[in-house]
Amino acid sequence: MESDYKYLVQHLQQSQYRTHANHLETIIKPIPDSDRTGDLDSRVFETLTANHSSHDEPDTAFDLEAARASMGWPNQDRTTTDIKTEYLMIPSEDGDIPVRLYRPSHTEAIPVILFFHGGGFFGGTLDTVENPCKLLSERANAVVISVDYRLAPEHPFPAGLNDCYRAFEWVHAHSNELNILKDRIGVAGDSAGGNLATACCLMEQERGEGRICYQALVYPVVNLGTIPTDDFEWALDAYDISHHHDLIRGVVLALADADSFFNDLYLQGMADVTHPLVSPLFADDFSSLPPTLIVTAEYDYLRLEGEAYARKLSGAGVPTRLVQYRGMDHAFMDKLGDYPQADDCMNEIAKGLKELTK
pLDDT digits (tens, 9 = 90+) for 235-247: 999 999 999 999 9
Residue 61 has pLDDT above 90, yes or no: no
The reply to whether 187 falls in a domain is yes
Q: What is the pLDDT of residues 214-269, one digit of tens each?
A: 999 999 999 999 999 999 999 999 999 999 999 999 999 999 998 899 999 999 99
Q: Write out the catalytic residue numbers.
A: 191
Contact call for residues 243 and 224 (beta carbons, < 8 A):
no
Over residues 293-316, mean pLDDT: 98
- The CATH number of the domain where 239 resides is what? 3.40.50.1820
The reply to whether 158 falls in a domain is yes
Q: Considering the chain, what is the average pLDDT of its residues? A: 94
What pTM, to 2 d.p., does this model score?
A: 0.96
Cβ neighbours of 170 (radius 10 Å) = 18
Q: Do the strands 292-299 and 17-21 form a parallel or antiparallel pair, or are they unpaired?
A: unpaired
The reply to whether 243 falls in a domain is yes
Name the residue range of residue 136's domain: 2-53+82-355
Residue 53 has pLDDT above 90, yes or no: no
Q: Nearest to residue 26, comparing CAs of 316, 355, 285, 308?
A: 308
- pLDDT for the residue numbered 187: 98
- pLDDT for the residue numbered 59: 54
- pLDDT for the residue numbered 357: 53
The reply to whether 128 falls in a domain is yes
The C-alpha atoms of residue 264 and residue 91 are separated, in whole angstroms, by: 29
The reply to whether 257 falls in a domain is yes
Q: Do the strands 97-104 and 143-147 form a parallel or antiparallel pair, or are they unpaired?
A: antiparallel
Residue 303 has pLDDT above 60, yes or no: yes
- pLDDT for the residue numbered 356: 60
Q: Which residues of 87-122 are buried (b: 16+ CB within 10 A; e: fewer)?
A: ebebeeeeeebbbbbbbbeeeeebbbbbbbbbbbbb
- pLDDT for the residue numbered 3: 81
Reported confidence tier of residue 55, pLDDT bands at 50, 70, 90: very low
Reported confidence tier of residue 85, pLDDT bands at 50, 70, 90: very high
The reply to whether 29 falls in a domain is yes
Residue 52 has pLDDT above 80, yes or no: no
Q: What is the total count of domains within the chain?
A: 1
Q: Do the strands 110-116 and 180-190 form a parallel or antiparallel pair, or are they unpaired?
A: parallel
The reply to whether 66 falls in a domain is no
- pLDDT for the residue numbered 2: 80
The reply to whether 160 falls in a domain is yes
